[in-house]
Amino acid sequence: MATTQRTHYTNITKECIWDSFDNPTSSGDPDVFINFRIKERSVAAVRSYGGHLVVTDESVCGPVEKVYRIEFGDMIFYRKLTDCVKDILRKAYLLYSSTNYNISSCKSLCKELVDYAHNVALQCILTRLKSRLARLDIIADVEVEKITISDNYASVDEVFARVQSESMADNNQKVRFAASKVSINMLERKKYEKGEQLEACIVCMDDFLMGEEIIVMPCMRSHIFHENCIVIWLEESHVCPLCRFKLPTEA
């Protein structure tokens, strides 16, 4: 199983809270926070026989806010600010993931944050607004895409082994949902012809015969089965035996 994480920023803005003219901040630096609004998209896929990827699940959550404080004085010095931002990105799990470091997108996000914060700090000093600045929020809208690829089959024998082990699993330990009758009836039927990628139905393990009726699953043209075999399978489980592609259920 391999997980790839890609991080994209879509927008960086700022929000300032000012002291009144009558009571400006006379001493000390303003409070500065980097606020990430993170939207995460997770995609699960399997690599089926033949090397093709099939998406089995997809979800979107967020945005989730993560807030980190930095010192205003660190924003003035570019190198020190860069180190601070890198540390914050690590804490927010945006710079590294457990299995992948997306260099280009993370470097871009880091540089944009550093440039933005550094310029804001210099503007506040040059325009003499720092004394009136009570709080500064730097807001970054971030999209994280996580793609998990599993079941990297080396041969069709591994697919056979998986199907057999799952078909023999105790139904009390694994909840199964049947495919809807409409989706089963709409599956493509055709005659088996020479040149098909699979020579045997992995449900019953019997070879295909020329001209016999087979069913083609919608996930891939090469995912073919004996008509009776796959219908019986789908009446128990709504997923393709080869790649776990999900057909609609009655629920």
Of the chain, the end-to-end C-alpha distance in Å amounts to 30
At 156 the pLDDT is 43
Q: What is the pTM of this model?
A: 0.51
Indicate the domain borders of the chain.
2-150, 156-234
Report the pLDDT value the prediction gives residue 3, as an integer from 0 to 100: 60
pLDDT at 98: 42
| Edge-to-edge strands, sheet with 213-216 | 188-191, 213-216, 224-226
List the one residue out of 163, 161, 154, 179 whose CA is nearest residue 243: 163
Q: What is the pLDDT of residue 81?
A: 92
In CATH, 156-234 is 3.30.40.10:
yes
pLDDT given at position 128: 79
pLDDT for the residue 214: 93
Give Cβ neighbours of residue 187 (< 8 Å, ≥ 6 apart): 215, 216, 217, 218, 230
Q: What whole-number distance in Å separates Cα of residue 106 and Cα of residue 112?
A: 10
Q: Would you say 148 and 53 are in contact if contact means Cβ atoms under 8 Å apart?
A: no
pLDDT along the chain (251 residues), means of 10: 65 78 60 89 66 67 89 90 88 60 66 89 83 86 75 46 50 64 90 84 84 88 87 88 82 62
